[in-house]
Amino acid sequence: MKTVNVVAAVIRCKDKILATQRGYGEFKGGWEFPGGKMEPGEQPQEALKREIQEELNTEIQVHDLISMVEYDYPTFHLTMGCYWCSIVHGKLELLEHEAARWLKADELYNVAWLPADLEVIKKIKEKF
Ligand SMILES: Nc1nc2c([nH]c(=O)n2[C@H]2C[C@H](O)[C@@H](COP(=O)(O)OP(=O)(O)OP(=O)(O)O)O2)c(=O)[nH]1
Protein backbone atom coordinates (compact mmCIF):
# COMPACT_ATOMS: atom_id res chain seq x y z
CA MET A 1 0.00 0.00 0.00
CA LYS A 2 1.32 3.48 -0.72
CA THR A 3 2.21 5.80 2.15
CA VAL A 4 1.09 9.43 2.09
CA ASN A 5 3.13 11.82 4.26
CA VAL A 6 1.09 14.67 5.64
CA VAL A 7 1.68 17.52 8.07
CA ALA A 8 -1.18 19.08 10.02
CA ALA A 9 -1.40 22.30 12.04
CA VAL A 10 -3.15 22.38 15.39
CA ILE A 11 -3.49 26.15 15.52
CA ARG A 12 -4.10 27.30 19.05
CA CYS A 13 -5.34 30.69 20.15
CA LYS A 14 -5.85 31.09 23.93
CA ASP A 15 -8.16 28.24 24.98
CA LYS A 16 -9.29 27.20 21.50
CA ILE A 17 -8.01 25.21 18.55
CA LEU A 18 -8.95 25.54 14.91
CA ALA A 19 -10.82 22.83 13.01
CA THR A 20 -11.48 23.13 9.29
CA GLN A 21 -13.96 21.32 7.08
CA ARG A 22 -12.76 19.82 3.82
CA GLY A 23 -14.29 21.49 0.82
CA TYR A 24 -13.40 18.96 -1.89
CA GLY A 25 -12.33 15.42 -2.71
CA GLU A 26 -12.79 12.02 -1.15
CA PHE A 27 -13.28 13.32 2.41
CA LYS A 28 -15.42 16.36 1.54
CA GLY A 29 -17.42 17.52 4.55
CA GLY A 30 -15.09 15.85 7.07
CA TRP A 31 -13.31 17.94 9.73
CA GLU A 32 -9.53 18.04 9.97
CA PHE A 33 -6.53 20.13 10.90
CA PRO A 34 -5.40 22.30 8.00
CA GLY A 35 -2.28 21.07 6.25
CA GLY A 36 -1.41 18.67 3.46
CA LYS A 37 1.12 16.48 1.75
CA MET A 38 4.82 17.11 2.13
CA GLU A 39 6.74 17.73 -1.07
CA PRO A 40 9.99 15.86 -1.77
CA GLY A 41 12.93 17.39 0.11
CA GLU A 42 10.76 19.54 2.37
CA GLN A 43 11.14 19.69 6.14
CA PRO A 44 7.85 19.23 8.05
CA GLN A 45 7.91 22.77 9.47
CA GLU A 46 8.39 24.42 6.08
CA ALA A 47 5.76 22.16 4.44
CA LEU A 48 3.28 23.17 7.11
CA LYS A 49 4.00 26.89 6.76
CA ARG A 50 3.59 26.58 2.99
CA GLU A 51 0.30 24.66 3.24
CA ILE A 52 -1.25 27.12 5.71
CA GLN A 53 -0.19 30.05 3.56
CA GLU A 54 -1.80 28.37 0.52
CA GLU A 55 -4.99 27.26 2.25
CA LEU A 56 -5.64 30.10 4.71
CA ASN A 57 -3.43 32.96 3.52
CA THR A 58 -1.99 33.08 7.02
CA GLU A 59 1.55 32.95 8.38
CA ILE A 60 2.06 30.56 11.25
CA GLN A 61 4.81 29.64 13.67
CA VAL A 62 5.29 25.89 14.09
CA HIS A 63 5.95 24.67 17.65
CA ASP A 64 6.29 21.16 19.15
CA LEU A 65 5.18 17.91 17.62
CA ILE A 66 2.02 16.61 19.30
CA SER A 67 1.82 13.23 17.65
CA MET A 68 2.86 11.17 14.62
CA VAL A 69 -0.30 9.45 13.49
CA GLU A 70 -0.10 6.16 11.60
CA TYR A 71 -3.44 5.18 10.09
CA ASP A 72 -4.54 2.69 7.44
CA TYR A 73 -7.22 3.98 5.11
CA PRO A 74 -8.65 1.40 2.69
CA THR A 75 -6.48 2.60 -0.20
CA PHE A 76 -3.39 4.14 1.44
CA HIS A 77 -1.37 4.37 4.62
CA LEU A 78 -1.28 7.81 6.24
CA THR A 79 1.69 9.10 8.20
CA MET A 80 0.71 12.47 9.68
CA GLY A 81 2.80 14.76 11.88
CA CYS A 82 0.58 17.04 13.96
CA TYR A 83 2.21 20.18 15.38
CA TRP A 84 1.13 22.89 17.79
CA CYS A 85 1.05 26.14 15.82
CA SER A 86 0.23 29.78 16.41
CA ILE A 87 -0.76 32.60 14.10
CA VAL A 88 1.90 35.17 13.27
CA HIS A 89 -0.02 37.18 10.71
CA GLY A 90 -3.21 36.82 8.69
CA LYS A 91 -6.95 36.40 8.97
CA LEU A 92 -7.52 32.71 8.14
CA GLU A 93 -9.21 33.12 4.77
CA LEU A 94 -10.92 29.89 3.75
CA LEU A 95 -9.41 29.52 0.28
CA GLU A 96 -9.92 25.74 0.11
CA HIS A 97 -12.09 24.81 3.07
CA GLU A 98 -15.84 24.89 3.40
CA ALA A 99 -15.98 26.06 7.02
CA ALA A 100 -13.86 26.57 10.12
CA ARG A 101 -14.60 26.49 13.85
CA TRP A 102 -12.67 27.41 16.97
CA LEU A 103 -13.20 24.65 19.54
CA LYS A 104 -12.65 24.68 23.30
CA ALA A 105 -11.47 21.52 25.08
CA ASP A 106 -15.00 20.44 25.90
CA GLU A 107 -16.17 21.02 22.32
CA LEU A 108 -13.54 18.88 20.60
CA TYR A 109 -15.98 16.11 19.76
CA ASN A 110 -18.63 18.46 18.37
CA VAL A 111 -17.43 18.03 14.78
CA ALA A 112 -17.12 14.89 12.63
CA TRP A 113 -13.33 14.43 12.46
CA LEU A 114 -11.65 12.32 9.78
CA PRO A 115 -11.01 8.85 11.24
CA ALA A 116 -7.23 9.31 11.51
CA ASP A 117 -7.68 12.43 13.66
CA LEU A 118 -9.46 10.82 16.60
CA GLU A 119 -6.21 9.60 18.13
CA VAL A 120 -4.75 13.13 18.00
CA ILE A 121 -7.87 14.64 19.49
CA LYS A 122 -7.45 12.34 22.47
CA LYS A 123 -3.86 13.56 22.97
CA ILE A 124 -4.84 17.19 22.55
CA LYS A 125 -7.56 16.80 25.15
CA GLU A 126 -4.98 15.54 27.64
CA LYS A 127 -2.60 18.45 27.01
CA PHE A 128 -5.04 21.29 26.60
N1 LIG B 1 -4.60 18.10 6.10
C2 LIG B 1 -5.07 17.04 6.73
N3 LIG B 1 -5.19 15.85 6.08
C4 LIG B 1 -5.69 14.83 6.79
C5 LIG B 1 -6.08 14.96 8.16
N6 LIG B 1 -6.55 13.76 8.58
C7 LIG B 1 -6.49 12.89 7.54
O8 LIG B 1 -6.84 11.72 7.55
N9 LIG B 1 -5.95 13.56 6.44
C10 LIG B 1 -5.74 12.92 5.14
C11 LIG B 1 -6.73 13.34 4.10
C12 LIG B 1 -5.90 13.29 2.80
O13 LIG B 1 -5.97 11.97 2.30
C14 LIG B 1 -4.50 13.59 3.26
C15 LIG B 1 -4.10 15.04 3.09
O16 LIG B 1 -4.05 15.35 1.79
P17 LIG B 1 -4.48 16.76 1.20
O18 LIG B 1 -5.41 16.50 0.08
O19 LIG B 1 -4.93 17.69 2.27
O20 LIG B 1 -3.09 17.24 0.70
P21 LIG B 1 -2.78 18.46 -0.24
O22 LIG B 1 -3.30 19.72 0.41
O23 LIG B 1 -1.33 18.36 -0.53
O24 LIG B 1 -3.75 18.21 -1.43
P25 LIG B 1 -3.69 17.85 -2.95
O26 LIG B 1 -2.92 18.94 -3.58
O27 LIG B 1 -3.10 16.48 -3.08
O28 LIG B 1 -5.16 17.86 -3.28
O29 LIG B 1 -4.45 13.30 4.65
C30 LIG B 1 -5.94 16.20 8.81
O31 LIG B 1 -6.26 16.41 10.00
N32 LIG B 1 -5.43 17.21 8.05
As to burial, measured by CB atoms within 10 angstroms (0-12 exposed, 13-18 middle, 19+ buried), residue 127 is exposed
Report CA torsion sign: 41, 43, 44, 49: negative
Query: What CATH number was assigned to the domain covering residues 3-127?
Result: 3.90.79.10
78 within ligand 1 shell (Cβ under 6 A): yes
- φ, ψ of residue 71 to 5 degrees: the values are -145, 135
ipTM over 0.90: yes
Which alpha helices (DSSP H) does 1-128 contain, by range? 44-56, 118-127
Q: Tens digit of pLDDT for each residue in 49-93?
A: 999 999 999 999 999 999 999 999 999 999 999 999 999 999 999
- Arithmetic mean of pLDDT over the chain: 97
Q: Where are the domains of the chain?
A: 3-127
Ligand 1 centroid to Cα of residue 88, in Å, is 23
Say whether pTM exceeds 0.90: yes
Instruction: Please give the distance, rounded to the nearest whole angstrom, from the Cα atom of residue 35 to the centre of ligand 1.
Output: 7
pLDDT score of 127 more than 90: no
